[in-house]
Amino acid sequence: MGFYQRHVIPCLTHLAMSQSQLLPFRQHVVGAAEGRVLEIGVGSGLNFPHYGTAVGSVIGLEPSAELLRMARTRARTAAVPVTLLDASAEAIPLDSSSMDTIVTTWTLCTIPNASRALAEMRRVLRPGGALLFVEHGRAPEAGVARWQDRLDPLWSSFAGGCHLNRKMDDLVTGTGFRIEALQNSRLPGPRTHTYLYEGRARPV
Ligand SMILES: C[S@@+](CC[C@H](N)C(=O)[O-])C[C@H]1O[C@@H](n2cnc3c(N)ncnc32)[C@H](O)[C@@H]1O
């Protein structure tokens, strides 16, 4: 892995993810977590302050050493106990049915094999547990989606593997989850980058 991937991408990720317009989504999604929580791709730990009193503990999984270093600092001041795990969501080193809630915020776009990762999330989630997510992805307008497909290879190599054109609801339901609540919205900004999928799903 080169200097750009190892050092520049984590700093850009932290800057991009610190936007204040993302805060209400973090509060809403993360605030609904309960019990033993696994957060996938914690990045620099920006979700930690939003876990509420219903949360017993958080395991934060993250494969980037530099982002883990940033997350470690935030974990120290979190109101809930946070353990960090250096791993990929495509092979989660946790027991089956061991988690009450899984949280993913703007991460399914970047995981190389998102279906494999979701199958792993389903495995570690207990029956009746919740997958809480907010992600950007494929826009419903055919013209915008075409641009997302065109830009995707270039964007992905510049933005640390982030994909613009994943249809998040189909990914989730295609891996053994039933979506219980889904809200789509748009952030201000380029239409190729700002279509959001926020929701809650449970293992079928
Ligand atoms: C756009 S950032 C979002 C970070 C964080 N979830 C947030 O909301 O600030 C995407 C994250 O996905 C992580 N990621 C990439 N590949 C991954 C994988 N295979 N398993 C888990 N996380 C991964 C990246 O390292 C990065 O932290």
- Considering only CA atoms, which of 127, 90, 107 is closest in space to residue 30? 107
pLDDT score at 5: 83
Dig out the tokens for 37 from the structure. 């929580």
Residue in 110, 132, 198 to alter for ligand 1 test, most ligand atoms within 8 A of Cβ: 110
Name the closest-CA residue to atom 22, ligand 1. 41
Domain segments of the chain as ranges: 3-203
Strand order in the sheet with 99-105: 82-85, 55-61, 35-40, 99-105, 125-136, 195-203, 177-186
**Residue 8 scores a pLDDT above 90:** no
pLDDT score at 47: 98
Ligand 1 centroid – CA 61 distance (Å): 9
- Considering only CA atoms, which of 88, 184, 77 is closest in space to residue 141? 184
Q: What is the 3-state secondary structure (H, E, C) of the chain?
A: CCHHHHHHHHHHHHHHHCCHHHHHHHHHHHCCCCEEEEEECCCCCCCHHHCCCCEEEEEEECCCHHHHHHHHHHHHCCCCCEEEECCCCCCCCCCCCCEEEEEEECCCCCCCCHHHHHHHHHHHEEEEEEEEEEEECCCCCHHHHHHHHHHHHHHHHHCCCCCCCCCHHHHHHCCCEEEEEEEEEECCCCCCCCEEEEEEEEEC
Ligand 1 centroid – CA 180 distance (Å): 24
- Ligand 1: residues whose CB is within 6 Å? 13, 17, 40-43, 46-47, 61-64, 67, 88-90, 105-107, 110-111
Question: What single letter denotes the amino acid at residue 106?
Answer: W
pLDDT score at 154: 96
User: Which residue bears the tokens 């989606």?
Assistant: 145
Q: How confident is the model at residue 37 (pLDDT cuts 50, 70, 90)?
A: very high
Q: What is the pLDDT of residues 80-133, one digit of tens each?
A: 999 999 999 999 999 999 999 999 999 999 999 999 999 999 999 999 999 999
Q: Mean pLDDT across the chain, nearest whole number? A: 96
pLDDT score at 11: 85
pLDDT score at 30: 98
Instruction: Residues 3-203: name the CATH superfamily.
Output: Vaccinia Virus protein VP39 (3.40.50.150)
Give every CB contact of residue 189 below 8 A, 6+ residues apart in sequence: none
Q: How confident is the model at residue 187 (pLDDT cuts 50, 70, 90)?
A: very high
Ligand 1 centroid – CA 6 distance (Å): 13
**Residue 202 scores a pLDDT above 90:** yes
pLDDT score at 84: 98
Q: How confident is the model at residue 35 (pLDDT cuts 50, 70, 90)?
A: very high
Q: What is the pLDDT of residues 130-155, one digit of tens each?
A: 999 999 999 999 999 999 999 999 99
pLDDT score at 161: 94
